[in-house]
Chains A and B, each alone.
Chain A
Amino acid sequence: MAKRAAPEVNAGSMADIAFLLLIFFLVTTTIETDSGINRKLPPMEESEEDVVIKQRNIFTVLLNGKDQLLVEDELMELKDLRAAAIEFLDNNGDGSCDYCKGKKDKSSSDNPDKAIISLKNERETTYKTYIAVQNELVAAYNELRNARALAQHGKSFAEMQADYKDVNWPGNKERLKAKIDQIKTDYPQKLSEVQ
């Protein structure tokens, strides 16, 4: 028998089928946002004894119902908050912190370990502003930690943390963990929220 060329299959509807599937996936799925600012809430039980904290070691940030920012009893723009927080945390008033680059102002915080940022908001504050403020305060801590890590280990704190999470990182993880913890204790994140 003579060979005959196979007739061409009409693939015109393949595009339609693919579109159908595509549109199905477009409507039933979402691109998940899975990143955010991690925080830890204070436990419920109140400690009996009142801890006395000197006023100069507290950096008060107040957000009112009109989304205005009051920092240490002065109005402030959001863009200045990060710098102000860094200046407060890194102040080193009692001279006990040998890596701080602060101004050693006696009327501001003693050292990063004692410095506490206190954040207070009202019920009418919008969530957007609250997150923006939280973000700036976390950024202040992160910037100080990054600078400290760069000075000590030649790598930023964020990179060190990324290395620690990376499964393929070739270095010694235990030593890296110790370094990360050391930087965390150098600049502990003391951010308290007033209810």
Chain B
Amino acid sequence: MAEAPRMPDECGVPEMDAYLHPVMKKNYGAWSWHDRPRPGVLHHVAKSGDEIWTVRAGTQRQMDVYTIRKLMDIADEFAEGFVRFTIRSNIEYMVSTEAQVNPLIEKLNAEGFPVGGTGNSVSMISHTQGWLHCDIPGTDASGAVKALMDELIDEYTKEEMPNRVRLTTSCCQINCGGQGDIAINIQHVKPPKIDHDQVANVCERPTVVARCPVAAIRPAMVNGKASLEVDEKKCICCGACFPPCPPMQINDPEHSNFAIWVGGKNSNARSKPTFHKLVASGVPNNPPRWPEVSAVVKQILGAYKEDAKDWERIGEWAERIGWPRFFEKTGLPFTKYHIDNWRGGRANLNASTHIRF
């Protein structure tokens, strides 16, 4: 008889204690205050008087084992053997004396890891998988992010923005990359092309019908075979039908392009959390460097940096000066597509005579 297979140890989320820097473990829940001695460095002081310095560095998120081992060598030699990662894939090293900070920064810089991403900086871009691993990507994510961070690295290593700037990139409008002060998302703009010979073989048709957000998909017989059809007037080209039904090809190299959205904010600080809004579209999908995307992002960042008040996030700035002025200051064109025409979108129209001349 064959040996019984190993069954998983359903251990769930591990305890964090074993992975915590000793100073953090000792002062868990008992911190007093913090400041930022320089960009990329946080300094926390515990009620016990203990101190810890955190050095934050940018990574490429998709890391090879050699890069991770290099980062671990740095942690062992300069940072007491512990690290953590942020939600934006920055690596953080914690050290218990101020004297360890500069040698650590020098080593990280020498190895090609920029130090920054704290405070009023443009931090690393949270992003999706793109051509490397996603099944409905209109573009690459890691590549577009690398190209953009090359352009924005000075804003990563400095803290010169009015408030923090958080960017996201998504390889379709399903937007797994998340809300951002600036969200850079590719948009499929054509309905899926259906290979009717394949649908009956590989797709569970009710599942595909249920998946469509606008009920544009319905069962149909095509050339005597069970298949699906799409009401192209209703289709909003999201691509959600592709994963359960690969014969519904959504990738369109010719027509897909980037839309840029601004004003997303997750914090409750000052104003309530907000979603990002459309400001630009039709931006070409131009690998490997996507220069047109960088140009629009830099245009928005430049206007924000020049005009916003201290502590205003991009969306708060636009709300204060008014969206007409946002388009004026950024030089971006305003079109009929900026006007929300979904039935709940009336809340976004101006029911007042509040106008700035």
Question: Is B a genuine binding partner of A?
Answer: no
List residues of A whose CB falls within 8 A of some B CB.
Answer: none
List residues of B whose CB falls within 8 A of some A CB.
Answer: none
